[in-house]
């Protein structure tokens, strides 16, 4: 079997691995559960998920761990040095033969999805947000726990519920979010909505909470001032951390345009008002920014990282072949 290159994108909702040939052709794909060491009861469960997705991808490719030339692990929860050290120890224990590997926060996975050079800033807004930057000299910075604001679907819903509760208490302006969220969640009153999300027993899952984010954006698009302010604030926050990432990796010191890659369900939704707000604020904070939506799923960006780190030149042919063989959206859907 020819040597393969492995990209892994691990989050809270799922972990996905792709196996690629040096030509860029994807020959195997695997899925597993939560790969975030912060999102599981025992970090070993995250390791099992990551390696499970890897083995599934290699099995489909007719390959083994011994045939992996390079692997790029882009993992939610790699936020501090000790997190990377944990994964390094785990991979050395479970896969000692894998010497060409890199471990980084999952925010970096999206960079090559819109900028094959891997130089620029990625802004991911899905369930939460991940923002990362890489400079021309290899400097890297990711938001991790530096974020002081709730963003992504969690941020939209956190702010929307706060607005609804304050409106009910006559401590904030009335908003159409109240009726929209009551209808969406099938509860008769704001008191019941509050109870649903804050009771001691039987609280809904994070997925149940975040699915209401689409109601927030739809209400904003319908013209509700409160929802519109929430959406605009999301764009402002995302642009702020994108600017910080660009500064941290030295991109502000260059005359060249700064590539900003947008990814994640909140930003990639059709006619996303959050994306529009982000672009408006980004123009103020980073006038030389050239923003583009990711054309590939994050795991494909991780696979491009593995190819590049393994010595493969990312020619248009290689990138195009990878893009043409990525698994269908149904496989990658959360």
Instruction: For strands 289-293 and 15-20, give the pairing.
Output: unpaired
Tell whether 181 and 42 lie within a shared domain: no
Tell whether 284 and 326 lie within a shared domain: no
Tell whether 41 and 84 lie within a shared domain: yes
Structure tokens at 312: 């493969």
What are 85-139's pLDDT values in tens digits?
999 999 999 999 999 999 999 999 999 999 999 999 999 998 889 999 999 999 9
Q: 268 lies in which domain range?
A: 115-294
DSSP 175: -
* pLDDT at res. 220: 98
Backbone angles phi, psi at 29, to 5 degrees: -145, 145
Residues in CB range of 104: below 8 A, 6 or more apart: 72, 73, 74, 75, 78, 84, 132, 140, 142
Structure tokens at 266: 């909140």
Tell whether 13 and 131 lie within a shared domain: no
Beta bridge partners of 29: 18
Tell whether 123 and 206 lie within a shared domain: yes
Tell whether 150 and 259 lie within a shared domain: yes
Tell whether 261 and 176 lie within a shared domain: yes
Tell whether 23 and 46 lie within a shared domain: yes
> What would the mean pLDDT of 166-173 be, rounded to a whole number?
98
Backbone angles phi, psi at 69, to 5 degrees: -80, -40
Contact of 53 with 247, CB cutoff 8 Å: no
Output the CA torsion sign for 305, 309, 310, 312: positive
Tell whether 178 and 260 lie within a shared domain: yes
Tell whether 256 and 152 lie within a shared domain: yes
Tell whether 95 and 204 lie within a shared domain: no
- Is pLDDT above 80 for 334? no
Q: Tell me the C-alpha distance between 50 and 34, whole Å.
A: 8
What are 50-70's pLDDT values in tens digits?
999 999 999 999 999 999 999
* pLDDT at res. 282: 96
* 144 torsion bin: left (phi>0), alpha (psi -120 to 50), beta (else): left
What are 210-241's pLDDT values in tens digits?
999 999 999 999 999 999 999 999 999 999 99
Tell whether 178 and 280 lie within a shared domain: yes
Residue 251 sits in a domain of what CATH number?
3.30.420.40
The number of distinct structural domains making up the chain is 2
Backbone angles phi, psi at 329, to 5 degrees: -55, -35
- Is pLDDT above 70 for 1? no
> What would the mean pLDDT of 298-324 be, rounded to a whole number?
97
Q: Is the pTM of this model over 0.85?
A: yes
Helices (H) and strands (E) in the chain, counts: 13, 10
């Amino acid at each position: 079997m020819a040597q393969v290159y492995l990209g892994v994108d691990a989050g809270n909702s799922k972990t996905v691995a792709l196996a690629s040939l040096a030509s860029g052709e994807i020959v195997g794909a695997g899925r597993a559960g939560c790969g975030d060491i912060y999102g599981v009861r025992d970090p070993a469960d995250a390791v099992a998920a990551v390696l499970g997705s890897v083995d599934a991808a290699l099995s489909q490719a007719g390959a083994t761990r011994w045939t992996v030339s390079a692997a790029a692990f882009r993992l939610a929860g790699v936020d501090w040095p000790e997190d990377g050290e944990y994964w390094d120890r785990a991979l050395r224990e479970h896969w000692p033969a894998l010497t060409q590997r890199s471990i980084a926060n999952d925010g970096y996975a999206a960079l090559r999805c819109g900028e094959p050079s891997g130089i620029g800033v990625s802004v991911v807004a899905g369930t939460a947000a991940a923002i990362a930057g890489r400079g021309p000299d290899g400097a890297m910075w990711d938001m991790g726990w530096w974020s002081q604001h709730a963003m992504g679907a969690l941020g939209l819903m956190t702010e929307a519920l706060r607005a609804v509760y304050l409106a009910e208490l006559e401590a904030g302006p009335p908003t159409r979010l109240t009726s929209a969220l009551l209808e969406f969640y099938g509860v008769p009153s704001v008191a019941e909505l509050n109870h649903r999300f804050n009771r001691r027993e039987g609280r809904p899952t994070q997925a149940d909470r975040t699915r209401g984010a689409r109601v927030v954006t739809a209400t904003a698009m319908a013209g509700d001032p409160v929802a519109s302010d929430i959406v605009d604030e999301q764009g402002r926050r995302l642009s702020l951390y994108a600017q910080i990432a660009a500064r941290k990796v030295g991109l502000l010191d260059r005359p060249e345009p700064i590539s900003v890659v947008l990814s994640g369900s909140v930003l990639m939704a059709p006619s996303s008002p959050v994306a529009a707000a982000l672009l408006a604020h980004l123009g103020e904070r980073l006038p030389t920014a050239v923003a583009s939506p990711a054309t590939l799923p994050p795991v494909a960006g991780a696979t491009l990282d593995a190819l590049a780190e393994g010595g493969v030149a990312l020619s248009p042919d290689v990138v195009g072949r990878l893009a043409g063989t990525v698994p269908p959206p149904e496989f990658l859907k959360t």
